[in-house]
Amino acid sequence: AQTVTQSQPEMSVQEAETVTLSCTYDTSENNYYLFWYKQPPSRQMILVIRQEAYKQQNATENRFSVNFQKAAKSFSLKISDSQLGDTAMYFCAFIHLGAGNNRKLIWGLGTSLAVNP
Amino acid sequence: GAGVSQSPRYKVAKRGQDVALRCDPISGHVSLFWYQQALGQGPEFLTYFQNEAQLDKSGLPSDRFFAERPEGSVSTLKIQRTQQEDSAVYLCASSYLTSLNRQGRTDTQYFGPGTRLTVL
């Protein structure tokens, strides 16, 4: 079975500090994508960052970066210089690129992040 | 260009009523997905279209749920005889993805704002 585990239901961080959200996943596939999505209270699911499993280099997007450990099946998200607008639910997800046509996202339960002033 | 849009944003239905939820994907996007998100949970896959073909409907919870995309663009998720357990946010996503097993930026799914369905 393919699963995604986010072990931190809630986290908080002070504005301008750094926070790391953890994610582990389980799959027998070798070819897949990993994602972090953000869902603010407004509910729109927004892509934060994406990592292709075949790439060894960790993805970065401005203040957001990941620590991708393929052997450990770990995909943590680091948010640097946290801003109030980062307050949201963060979901870790993956798609496996198997030979079939299914491209569904497999999701974790999410981590609720609060950035405090 | 415009993102994924969904309508209505909110829908209240009495138990037993039929509802129809609409999704307009990003223009040119081949693939379209429906997810169901219960309160406080992550999304759960419902169904997937590639153009007008429904390639996977394994996530539909019962035969009361039906989805279509007749012209390969707009999609409608229909729920017949709604039940209270159908209350959730229904998310639509699209991606510029073909059926080929290809790697690249096209596998990102872009989401609409969702429709919050409340069944009384």
Q: What is the pLDDT along chain A (117 residues), one digit of tens a residue?
A: 679 999 999 999 999 999 999 999 998 888 888 999 999 987 789 999 999 888 889 999 999 999 999 999 999 999 999 999 999 999 999 887 665 656 788 999 999 999 999
Q: What is the pLDDT of residue A43?
A: 73
Percent of chain B's residues with pLDDT above 90: 76
- Tell me which chain B residue has its CA closest to the CA of residue A54: B103
- Determine contact, residues B12/B19, Cβ cutoff 8 Å: no
CB contact under 8 A, A97 and B107: yes
Chain A neighbors of B114, CB-CB under 8 A: 43-45
Q: What is the pLDDT of residue A31?
A: 81
Could you give the CA distance from residue B8 to residue A79 in angstroms, rounded to a whole number? Answer: 34
* Mean pLDDT value across chain B: 90
Q: What is the pLDDT of residue B101?
A: 46
Rg (CA), chain A: 14
Q: Which residue has the higher pLDDT, B89 or A54?
A: B89
- Cα–Cα distance list, A85 to A9, A93, B94 (Å): 19, 21, 25
Count chain A–chain B contacts defined by CB atoms under 8 A. 71
Question: Is the pLDDT at B104 greater than 50, yes or no?
Answer: no
- Name the phi and psi angles at A91, rounded to 5: -115, 135
